[in-house]
Chain A
Amino acid sequence: MPAVKTDNRGLRLVSRYAALSLVAVVFIFPLLFMVMSSLKPSAQLLLDTKSLRAFLPVGDLSLANYSDAFARAPIGVFVFNSVLVTGVTVLLCLFVCSLAAFAFVFIEWSGKAVVFSILLATLIIPYETIFIPLLLMASQLPWIGGDGFELGWLNTYRVQIVPFIADALSIFLFVQFFKDLPKELIEASRVEGASWWTIYRRVVMPLSGPVIATAAILKFLFMYNQYLWPLMVVQDESIRPVMVGLGYFTDQLNVPWGEVMAYLTIITVPVLGFYLSLQRVFISSVASTGVKG
């Protein structure tokens, strides 16, 4: 009988790998299509979409689309802006949301449950519904900068960053993770004389790698893909992010698909780099928090 068991196990393993490979292929094909198309002239690109050639490096391949794309739009500026806005927002979000979650989980204060319920309720409100009031508010907010006192935040980096620092989803992720940390670690720290700040910095955060990675990746994707909000609040080309930059390629009758694909390939690189650097921690986090990414 053991032989049969081994066979079954082998079969199960093969079918599992087959299923996983299929899923991987489904996810990889669009990327493959994008990269291959970016190397082909627009006419050939459109013809190839009728066959599997669309996914293969065949035909007249060149980097011409890339040089054309760079000529058409200040891509370097857009990528820099997006990486800056996204990076700063992710860092501030991790700090602020983890602090909020720390207060929700470890510190006793009256009204905690009510505040947390209200916070969770905000999860169901899509950003698009609050963009108009947010725009009005941002246009009237005061700021004291290098030029002294000014009114209105439009056309700045900060208007792209500040509204997105705190968010309910990130706080929720941190809360769920913190709840699973052994309570005795916090109590032992208190007996040892640690302040809340010390407990946060020296005990809780060093143990929170998985949830930090998860929250960072989710926030990074959300911020990097921002389109509507920057379109509303930023007019100056020098502070525009990548997604708004896509407009440089589409506002005409003949869309230069090759250049579009080249542009998309370039702006995908930072996302892939960020994800791959955190992938290992992210996967362990999805497994341990039970939250799907």
Chain B
Amino acid sequence: MADVKLKGLRKSYGSVDVIKGVDIEIKDGEFVVFVGPSGCGKSTLLRMISGLETISGGTLEIGSRVVNKVPASERGIAMVFQSYAIFPHMTVRENIAFGLTIAKVPKAEKDAKVAEAARILQMEHLLDRRPSQLSGGQRQRVAIGRAITRNPEVFLFDEPLSNLDAALRLDMRMEIGRLHRSLGATMIYVTHDQVEAMTLADKIVVLKDGLVQQIGTPMELYHRPENLFVAGFLGAPSMNFFDVDIAMTDAATARVASQVVAEFEAPVWREGVGKGAKATLGIRPQDLRPVAEGGILSGTVNLIERLGTETVVDVRLADGHRVLVSLNEDRVFEPGESIQLAFDPGKAHLFAPASEQDLQAVQNAT
């Protein structure tokens, strides 16, 4: 098992920079998820760690050894691909044993390792089948089995569940979590699915345009997003944003108000907030609740989505601004109904004023 350290890692294709200097430290045994919208560079970064992409700059260390120029097979890693990448002309047994066969491992040892992998993944009964006779989830399990037999220091997963249907995805997600606990190996996992990121990760790395936006535990990222992008990307439905005027009342609080937001006091802790009279206010849909009177926001109900245990209400404010409210109960609203919304001011997020570009990026990502 090993630490993985990315120091100023860069990747360029000609004049196009895809990874623009990434620093990440992954501790031995940690489960780290790279998350971000399409094209953010998360898969490229994983492929650079695996050795399938060359590194244009910076250093990559696996187990305190610089591996920039080391071939993929000698980095002590195993990779699981989105498309499974299992060999259709080989049986499950041959697929799992592929790396061992190439390395000319003695048959007895090979059989033992295959049996152990099959036991861990509960697929002993599938060993003599061909991939065409397996379901998507079983195929992905074969790919994971092949990775396990390599006994790698680091497991790399490149969107391994994207090709599976929703029910199977849940099962496999739990299985990967279980695998991490039982093997205790370092795992790096790429996904664009925030549920996978939130449930599996010890640590999440949010990427955008080849740059790290924030690194932290799932709850740190959810409750303390450092910028608008992270705030908008994590959490479903996405966070509501408003342009507001602020006036600092003391070092850590400010009075907040705008045309559609009634005045209230909110905590200030992010850098750049309070230096001017403008800010962006973020409120998670789950933090809003309807009240009979005295709400901070007021508007009319536009659309309602009742999901049984949750109700999502789309509210339009007086200036046409759209606000999403997520209630943890089944409630009935009528479209056109007037509604007032309140929230705990302690859960308000104040960000330095958003540029058009920031907001666009948040919208594109969610």
Please give the residue numbers on chain A whose beta carbons come within 8 Å of chain B beta carbons, in ascending order: 182, 184-185, 187-194, 198, 202-203, 206-207
Contacts and interface: CB of A to CB of B under 8 A. Distances in A.
A242 B78 CA distance: 56
A191 B87 contact: no
Contacts of A185: 85, 87
21 contacts: A182-B83, A184-B81, A184-B83, A185-B87, A187-B79, A187-B81, A188-B85, A190-B73, A191-B50, A191-B51, A191-B77, A192-B73, A192-B102, A192-B146, A193-B73, A193-B74, A193-B103, A194-B98, A202-B102, A203-B87, A206-B89
B102 A194 contact: yes
Contacts of A194: 73, 98, 102
A116 B261 CA distance: 65
B99 A192 contact: yes
B98 to A, nearest CB: 6
Nearest to A186: B85
Given A184-B83, A188-B79, A190-B52, 6 more contacts: A191-B51, A191-B73, A192-B99, A193-B99, A194-B73, A203-B87
Contacts of A189: 98
Given A191-B51, A191-B52, A192-B146, A184 B99 contact: no
Contacts of B81: 184, 187-188
B235 to A, nearest CB: 32
Interface size class of B (residues with CB under 8 A): 20 to 34
A191 B72 contact: yes
B85 A187 contact: yes
Interface of B: 50-52, 71-74, 77-79, 81-89, 98-99, 102-103, 143, 146, 150
Contacts of A203: 87
B247 to A, nearest CB: 56
A96 B88 CA distance: 25
| 9 closest cross-chain pairs (CB), A and B | A193-B73, A184-B85, A192-B99, A188-B85, A184-B81, A206-B89, A191-B72, A191-B79, A184-B83
Contacts of A192: 73, 98-99, 102, 146, 150
Contacts of B72: 190-191
B133 to A, nearest CB: 17
Contacts of A190: 51-52, 71-73
Contact of A207 (B79, B88, B103, B143): B88
A36 to B, nearest CB: 45
Contacts of B50: 191
A184 to B, nearest CB: 4
Nearest to B78: A191
A184 B99 CA distance: 15
A198 B79 CA distance: 19
Candidate in A182, A184, A202, A207 with the most chain B CB atoms within 10 angstroms = A184
Nearest to A192: B99
A93 B50 CA distance: 36
A193 B149 CA distance: 13
A226 to B, nearest CB: 34
A190 B98 CA distance: 11
A187 B85 CA distance: 8
Nearest to A108: B54
A184 B87 CA distance: 10
A191 to B, nearest CB: 5
Contacts of A191: 50-52, 72-73, 77-79
A189 B89 CA distance: 14
A190 B83 CA distance: 16
Nearest to A188: B85
A105 to B, nearest CB: 16
A131 to B, nearest CB: 41
A60 to B, nearest CB: 55
A207 B79 CA distance: 22
A115 B288 CA distance: 65
